[in-house]
Amino acid sequence: MIHKIPILRNIALNHMIKKYEAFPELLSIEVTNACNSKCIMCPRANLTRKIRHMSADIFNKIIEDCRRMPLKKINLFWFGDPLCAPSIIDYMRRIRTALPGVKLYISTNAELLTPERTDAILSEKLLDVINFDIDGMEKNTYEKIRIGVDFDRVIENVEYFMSARKKLGLKSPQTRVTIIKMDLTAGEIDRFVAKWSKIADKTDVNDYNTWLGTQKERNVGDALQRSESGRFTYPCLHPWNEMVIASDGNAGLCCLDYDLTAKLGNVRHESIHEIWHGAELKKFRNEIIKLNYSGISCCSRCNAHIYQDNSTWAHLWRKRLRTAV
C-alpha cells in the first residue's frame, strides 16, 4: 500500500534518509588489507595502497568514536582477509567489551582459522556471524579461483568450527557459507547448496561483482544481462548506510572503492560523526542523487545495482525521481 500512495512514499523515504544520515548503521573496519589468496575475481593486482595491519591506536579511536552512537553492525574486515591480522582476536574482544550491543561479523576464506582461534571465538562468544567464502564444490574448481589457498585445509577448518560449536551447544555465531555464481562455479551451485545447507545455518549464492568494472565479467544467465545492460536509476545506498575505514584510518565512500579514490577524511584527525556529516560526503551524495555517476570515478562503471535493484530504498527513490520529472 505504501508504494502506491505518493505522500506515504515520500514520508517513508525521508524517514530512511534521516535515519541513515544520523550515523552509519554499518561500519566496515579494514583491520588488514593483507590477504593469503590471489582470487581471480579480486582487483588486488591493481591495489596501490600500502599493505598494512591497522594499528591499535587507530582501532581504539574508531571504537571510542562509536560509543553511544546508533551503530548496528561492524564488519571486522574490508579489503583483505581479517585472519591475516595478528591482533584479530584482541580486536574482537575490544569490540565485545566496548560495544556490547553492536552485531559483529567477519568474512574469511578460513585457511587461517586455526583451532586455537576457533576455540577463542567460541568460548569467549566473540562473534555474531562468521561467513566462510568457499567458491567451489570441487578442489580443482576452488583452487583455480582462490589461488594460493589450500581447499582441503579450508574444509578441515570450517568443519572443525562447526563441530566445536555443536559440542559446546552454541547457536552463535551464526555460520554462513557463500559461493559466487560465475562461469567457473555455475555447474556446481546445486551440489554446493545441497551440501552446505545441511551443515551451515545459511548458504548464500551471490552474483558476481566486477569491482567497479575492473574485473573480467563472469556473471551468467540473468545476472549477466543485468550486469552488462543495467545501471543505477536511483541513488546507490552505500553512501547512506555504510562507512568503510581503511587500515591507515582513511574513510572511503564505498566498500567497492578498494583503492580509496574517493576519500572522505581520516579518523585520526576527525570523528566518525564529523566525517559522516562532512562536506566531502555531502558532495558525493548530492551528485549521486542527481544520478551523476559518470562524474565519480569509482562509480562510473560499477555493477552493484544488481544487488540493490529490488530493495525498498531503490523502489522508493525510483518512484520519487519519476514523479519529479
Q: Does the structure show a pLDDT above 90 at 2?
A: no
Q: Grid coordinates 545441511 are at which residue?
A: 198
pLDDT of residue 7: 79
> Percent of the chain, pLDDT > 90?
95
- Beta-carbon contacts of residue 302 (< 8 Å; ≥ 6 apart): 210, 212, 213, 232, 236, 256, 293
Average pLDDT over the chain reads: 95
pLDDT of residue 104: 98
pLDDT of residue 1: 46
Window from 243-257, 269-283, 311-325 with minimum mean pLDDT:
311-325
Q: Which helix (H) or strand (E) holds 252?
A: strand 250-252
Mean pLDDT of 277-302: 96
pLDDT tens per residue across span 130-173: 999 999 999 999 999 999 999 999 999 999 999 999 999 999 99
Ordered strands of the 174-180 beta sheet = 202-206, 174-180, 129-133, 103-108, 73-75, 26-29, 242-245, 250-252, 263-266
Roughly how many angstroms between the first and final C-alpha of the chain, as a whole number? 23
pLDDT tens per residue across span 23-76: 999 999 999 999 999 999 999 999 999 999 999 999 999 999 999 999 999 999
Mean pLDDT of 253-282: 97
Residue 244, beta-bridge partner list = 28, 252
pLDDT of residue 5: 63
Q: How confident is the model at residue 325 (pLDDT cuts 50, 70, 90)?
A: low
Q: Does the structure show a pLDDT above 80 at 182?
A: yes
- Beta-carbon contacts of residue 132 (< 8 Å; ≥ 6 apart): 107, 108, 109, 110, 154, 158, 175, 176, 177, 178, 200
**CA–CA separation, 43 vs 31, rounded Å?**
18
Q: Does the structure show a pLDDT above 70 at 3?
A: no
